[in-house]
Amino acid sequence: MRARQELDDAISSYKALESAVDDNVELIELGEAEEDAEVVAEAEAAITEAHKEAAKRQLETLLSGEADRNDCYVEVHSGAGGTESQDWAQMLARMYTRWAERKGYKLNVIEAQDGEEAGLKSMTMEVKGPNAYGWMKTESGVHRLVRISPFDSNARRHTSFASIGVYPVVDDTIEVEINESDCRIDTYRASGAGGQHVNTTDSAVRITHEPTGIVVQCQNERSQHKNRATAWDMLRARLYEAELQKREEAAQAEQASKTDIGWGHQIRSYVLQPYQLVKDLRTGVENTNPSAVLDGDLDGFLETSLAHRVQGSGDQEVADLD
């Protein structure tokens, strides 16, 4: 049913574009015949918009990876720097939440650890929607923020780092074998904001895959059984993503994006002071409105990163991330 809906949407989109172009071409011909410049201008503007939509749909055809159509998990981790980095991690979590809302995707918070004073130490979200992993996969890496700190009484400029990890949800069409003897399972009491959110039982679950060192945890449900099932799903996703990464590295001779959370490894910089600029260091794409970007306006970066990644999978040399 999901595949059928995706095909129906693709066909409907194509027919709508075709109809828009044909109708507006006729309008231009009528406007020119009647020397109505306003009608011609409106029709030309509509064709320009159709062209932009067609370019976006063409880009979506590049989402042909093995797991691109799947839902995904998005992990946010603060870097060194205490409250500054934890606040930055929360800003990134909000940014992806707003972007997902714009796309009509559904979000489910799997796990979150609040910072001591503000922000987040870490958060894991599940993003559900068509091509969620395909769109989000290029966001994995370190994100850097430069701003006047709201936590510094001397109003000094601070640089903060946070890392993003994106992993595909493994559906029934993909088999991932895990030897349970390779895993260590720990249960603990879930943390919360207090009051009715405090869980009085050890319902949170953490699974450590010892051969790879991958750790996943879930605490959003009150039932340990449900948290355990979700944690196993997350572990399968992480192991599957690791395998995809190995294949991609072998094909592209590309260094993995998961590196230290600090200088020299960032994929995007967000500068709020002394000037306003968001720059993707892989593609060179810039946006001088950081407020809009942090409010979820990410499509320009995602589209260019996707096209750049697909081009790099050919015979061309992969661009240096630095």
Secondary structure of 168-183 as H, E, C letters? ECCCCCCCCCCCHHHE
Q: d(Cα 240, Cα 58) in Å, to the nearest integer?
A: 27
pLDDT at 319: 33
Options 3.40.50.170, 3.30.70.1660, 2.60.40.1580, 3.20.20.140; which CATH number does 62-322 get? 3.30.70.1660
pTM: 0.69
Residue owning tokens 């796990």: 111
Q: Low-confidence residues of the chain, pLDDT below 50?
A: 194-198, 253-259, 314-322
What pLDDT score does 298 carry? 94
Contact 102, 96 (CB under 8 A): no
Predicted local distance difference test score (pLDDT) of residue 308 = 79
The pLDDT score that the predictor gives to residue 318 is: 32
- pLDDT recorded at residue 277: 95
Chain length of the chain: 322
- Angle between helices 37-60 and 2-33 in degrees, nearest 10: 160
